[in-house]
Structure 1
Amino acid sequence: MATWRERAIVAGMQLFQASGAHRLAASFTRGLGAILMFHRVRPDPREAFAPNAGLEVTPGFLDQLLIHLRTQGYDIISLDAALDFLRKGKAPPKPLVVLTFDDGYRDLVEHALPILERHAAPFTAYVTAGFADRRARLWWIEMEEAIRRLGRVDVTVSGTRIARDCATAAEKSAAFADIYWSIRDGGEEQLLDVVATLAAQAGVDARALAAEACLGWAEIAGLAGHELATIGAHSVAHPRLAKLDAAAARREMAESRDRIARKTGVTPRHFCYPVGDPTSAGRREFALAAELGFESAVTTRPGMIFPEHRDHFHALPRLSVNGKHQSLAALDVLLSGAPFALMNRGRRVAA
């Protein structure tokens, strides 16, 4: 069952594709290009209940996407190269695209890397140190697995009880959405407690999930030595930093960098804010990233890269490649920048 947010996105994409308005606007709204955001790259499990499907694309689609980008005249470059254009105030000869992969999933190496190598496409991998340690929790995957196993959920969020049957895929999807958006409105402790309750009810092993889904340190160290890869930091435990006090947020950012450096021998120069929306990272976090010496930091705020971002390296926007909309036509709409010109009311920088 699609949420109203998902339905609005689909309707907007269909309107642009039908009208072709994005193509007319692109020269004004595309800017210098975009930073694309990926999470998982793996074969489609083809399950009816797949609440995290938006975070996954298939290897086949990634391959098509890279071919399409080059065919359409985009230059796939490293994050450092893109930042260099901004620093120098130079327009790239072609529209630029930067590829980024969040969290440190195992399928980055198993499925995505061979494709990236075949296309000689540089990329940045933002590593969550606690996932590599098996100490942090992939709570969104925990919750998916718990609801998959349960026939009924019964939890309390901020004093409100959410109790409902979830025997069918549709019921499970509805239960996941109800709980997800309820816990997203609260703090980190409540979020983790609610998911832990569901996981305990379903017998889900959080540590085993992290070990199955995410790269270990030896694999990350190997990736760090790859000629196409740039390793960035993505916190220790993947919390929404804006929900923490300043000292805790600073520790998450600094310790993730330092732990990655110790484990891989490479000190990350770039940071990625977990979740990364305005409720998870704002001006305080942007300032912390700068104070800690990171050269850049990316959000999940949608938007294009413009020359004005040379003064906002720690609040860079990205475009999510949504696994629920794996089409090149949808990608073209995003890369035109037209939807974000409307969404951001003409503002080029949302910092």
Structure 2
Amino acid sequence: EGNPIKDAVVVTFDDGYHDFADYAFPILQEERVPAVLFATTGFINGDLWLWPDQIMYAVENRGNQSVSFPGASGTLDKNLSDDECWNYIADFCLTLPPEERNEVICQLYRNIDLDIPNEAPDRFRSLSWQQVKEMQALGLTVESHSYSHPILTKLTDQEIINELKKSKEMIQTNLGCKVEGFCYPNGMKSDFDFRVKNALIELGYSWGVTAYPTLSPLADLFEISRYNAGASMEDFFKTVFGVKYLSMRLE
């Protein structure tokens, strides 16, 4: 409430994977660091598992096969690494509305003769509502990250409303808390627009966060910018101590 604290750092986590409870939250508790979890509620509810993970599971289990799928310009060579293969398919799926994306993923599985598991394999499983509730009681703040993690700009106006409303209602029902914040799935500039922002306002959200940094992170409360923690401790320290911010100012 009121004016934000100057030079504050807010620690956030997206989606709701089980390893948040296994690894991250115990450290946050030990160090007495507050955090926000942006929950993909359909994932935590057990209704679905996340589509990028469906792609990774297929890629990791393709064996010694080349990969093809609708929309690919040619076939992905079997010698490509899992990460290279995943990046290519996931980047393409980011451009599609949910129904087309799901068909691409289904065809990918058919082409490598693999069944899509009904539930997320252990590596990709979510937290349970009970786990989230227990962490919430210890100080965790929970906000919305949509119901099914779609690219919102690929949805109709009504589909956007459904995603934002359903997610908010599920958090309120399961955790009994007020939901004010939203984290845009994927979080790049092309992943949200005025339609999404207007829907957030209409549904009573107060702010939204992105997945990229800016020089003025609070200039627009529905476009609050964030830094990625980075792949190494060196990268993380550069973020926390402002080196990345300074380098942006000098560009």
TM over 0.5: yes
Deviations 1:163-215 (A, max 9, x none): 2342x5x4433322322222223332222222233345333415133795211
What do residues 218-258 of structure 1 show as CA deviations (whole Å, max 9, x unaligned)? 2122222222x111011111111111011110111111010
Once residues 256 and 272 of structure 1 are traced to their aligned partners in structure 2, the CA distance between those partners, rounded to angstroms, is 11
Stretch of structure 1 that moved more, 252-261 or 282-291: 282-291
Deviation at 1:161, TM superposition (A): 4.9
Q: Give yes or no for contact 1:99–1:123 (8 Å, CA) kept in 2.
A: yes
Letter in 1 for 2:3: F
TM-score of the superposed pair, with normalisation by structure 1? 0.64
After TM superposition, the score normalised by the length of structure 2 is 0.87
2:227 corresponds to: 319
Aligned length: 246
Q: Provide the residue aligned with 2:150 in structure 1.
A: 239
CA deviations 1:80-112 (Å, max 9, x no partner) are x6xx324xxxx62xx210000000111111101
The residue type paired with residue 191 of structure 1 is R
Range with greater deviation from structure 2 (190-199 or 126-135): 190-199
Pairwise mapping of residues 215-234 of structure 1 onto structure 2 (< 5 A)? 215-227=127-139, 229-234=140-145
Query: Structure 1: how far apart are the matches of 2:176 and 2:226?
Result: 28
Tell me which residue corresponds to 1:301: 212
Q: Match for residue 332 of structure 1?
A: 238
Of 144, 155, 160, the residue aligned with 2:68 is: 155
Cα root mean square deviation, aligned: 2.4
Q: Of 75, 82, 94, which aligns to 1:184?
A: 94
Percent identity of paired positions between Structure 1 and Structure 2: 22
Counterpart-to-counterpart distance in 1, 2:108 and 2:35: 36
Letter in 1 for 2:65: R
Deviations 1:300-336 (A, max 9, x none): 1322445x62xx211111111133xx13256415733
In structure 2, relative to structure 1, the CA distance for the partners of 1:291 and 1:340 (3 Å cut) is: farther
8 Å Cα contact 1:131/1:137 also seen in 2: yes
**Which structure dedicates a bigger proportion of its chain to strand?**
1
On the 8 A contact 1:138/1:206 being kept in 2, the answer is no
Corresponding residue for residue 74 of structure 1: none
Aligned letter for 2:10? V
Match of 1:124 in 2: 36
Unaligned runs of 5+ in 2: none
SS at match of 2:68: strand
Secondary structure of 2:10's counterpart equals: strand
Q: 2:203 aligns with which of 292, 297, 302?
A: 292
Aligned residue in 2 for 1:13: none
Separation (CA, whole Å) in 1 of partners of 2:52 and 2:27: 27
| Structure 2 counterpart of 1:108 | 20
CA distance in 2, matches of 1:279, 1:288: 16
Matches within 5 A, 1:1-351: 84-86=2-4, 92=6, 95-150=7-62, 151-158=64-71, 160-166=72-78, 168=79, 170-200=80-110, 201-209=113-121, 213-227=125-139, 229-306=140-217, 309=219, 312-323=220-231, 326-329=232-235, 331-332=237-238, 335-336=242-243, 337-341=245-249
Asked if the contact 2:210/2:226 (under 8 Å) is kept, the reply is yes
Question: How far apart, in 1, do the equivalents of 2:153 and 2:249 lie?
Answer: 26
- Larger mean CA deviation between 294-303 and 198-207 belongs to 198-207
Distance 1:305 1:123 in 2: 21
Which structure has more helix as a fraction of its residues?
1
